[in-house]
Amino acid sequence: MSSDLPYRPCVGIMLFNDEGKVFVGKRIDQTVEGWQMPQGGIDKGETPRQAAQRELLEEIGTDKAQIVGEMEDWVTYDLPAHLVGVAFRGKYKGQRQKWFALRFTGKDADIDLTAHEPEFSAFQWVSPQALPDLIVPFKRDIYRQVLAALGPLVKRGT
């Protein structure tokens, strides 16, 4: 029963550039086109802040970013019924996430989606308002919460 499963502790990263656009990557493992901001699990003994920095390096191949804010609260989402028992090796019913805003300090050439085990096949910079429409439907509410909390930190030329 899915209600008996825990939430996977994880972090999310709203990485923005000097143009006030937010990084999204195109997921490799989805049959339907799906874009998302970087996110990933928190390893044992790791703080959420450390996990955010590690995940950024693993998922987009660069650590050229500065943390400028974080959501005060953790947010959760449940997987759709057809993914429970399949996604996350069947161990979790969804994710409990701590989100961070990071200002990108590098250049697009610093991004290497193949530096580690690839999760994204492509990336783009989008306006913050476009984010909820790019994500899979079951994560849209989370993206709206992230935008409300961290969106004001995304500024041009910061």
Distances (CA, A) of 20 to 14, 41, 70: 11, 27, 17
Label residue 74 by pLDDT band (50, 70, 90): very high
| Nearest in space to 48 (alpha carbons), one of 5, 97, 94 | 97
Span 119-150, pLDDT tens digits: 999 999 999 999 999 988 888 999 999 999 99
Q: What pLDDT score does 2 carry?
A: 57
Average the pLDDT over 59-85 and give the result.
89
- Report the candidate in 112, 101, 104 with the shortest Cα–Cα distance to residue 18: 104
pLDDT tens for residues 8-53?
999 999 999 999 999 999 988 766 668 999 999 999 999 999 999 9
At 158 the pLDDT is 47
Q: 94-124: per-residue pLDDT in tens? A: 889 999 999 999 999 999 999 999 999 999 9
Q: How many CA atoms lie within 13 A of 36 on its CB side?
A: 25
Tokens of 96: 């409990």
Residue 156 pLDDT more than 80? no
Other C-beta atoms within 10 Å of 74: how many? 15
- HSE, side-chain direction, 13 A CA sphere, residue 46: 17
Residue 6 phi/psi, 5-degree rounding, is -85, 170
Lowest pLDDT segment from 24-28, 49-53, 72-76, 88-92: 88-92
Q: What is the pLDDT of residue 31?
A: 61
Residue 68's pLDDT is what?
96
Domains and CATH numbers, the chain: 2-153 (3.90.79.10)
Q: Are 69 and 148 in contact (CB under 8 A)?
A: no
User: What pLDDT is attached to residue 80?
Assistant: 79
Q: Which two tokens stand for residue 8?
A: 């996977």
| 56 exposure class (CB count in 10 Å sphere: 0-12, 13-18, 19+) | buried
- For tokens 């650590």, name the residue: 63
For residues 91 and 3, the answer to whether their CB atoms sit within 8 Å is no
